[in-house]
Amino acid sequence: VGDIVKVKSCGAYSDIHLIGDRVITSTKNIGMYETLLKGFRFLRIHDSCLINSAHVLSYKPGVSAFIALTDNTMEAVSKRRKREFLLFYGNK
C-alpha cells in the first residue's frame, strides 16, 4: 500500500501508479479502491483520481488547485473536493 502513489480512473478500469513509474491496470473501478484504501490515508481529489497522502509534495492553491506528487506529476483538485482536501491536511 505504501508504494501506491495514486489510483486513476480509466473508465471501468483503474490504473494504479506505483513508486518507480510502474503502473498496474485493474478491472476494478476507482470507487472500490476508495473504499478499500480509506483507512490508509488515501484521499479522493477528483472524480478520477485517488491519492496517497504520504506522496504529496506540495499544494498549489487557487481556482485551479493542483497537488505535486512524488512521482513528479501534478494532479488537479476539483472544486467540489478542495474543501475536503484542505480539512484533511488541516487536521493532520
Distance CA 61, CA 14 (A): 27
pLDDT tens, residue by residue, 7-42: 999 989 999 999 999 999 999 999 999 999 989 999
Does position 90 have pLDDT exceeding 70, yes or no?
yes
CB atoms within 10 A of CB 4: 20
Residue 73 has pLDDT above 70, yes or no: yes
pLDDT of residue 71: 94
* Partners of 14 in beta bridges: 9, 26
Task: Check residue 89 and give its pLDDT.
Answer: 78
Q: What is the overall mean pLDDT for the chain?
A: 93
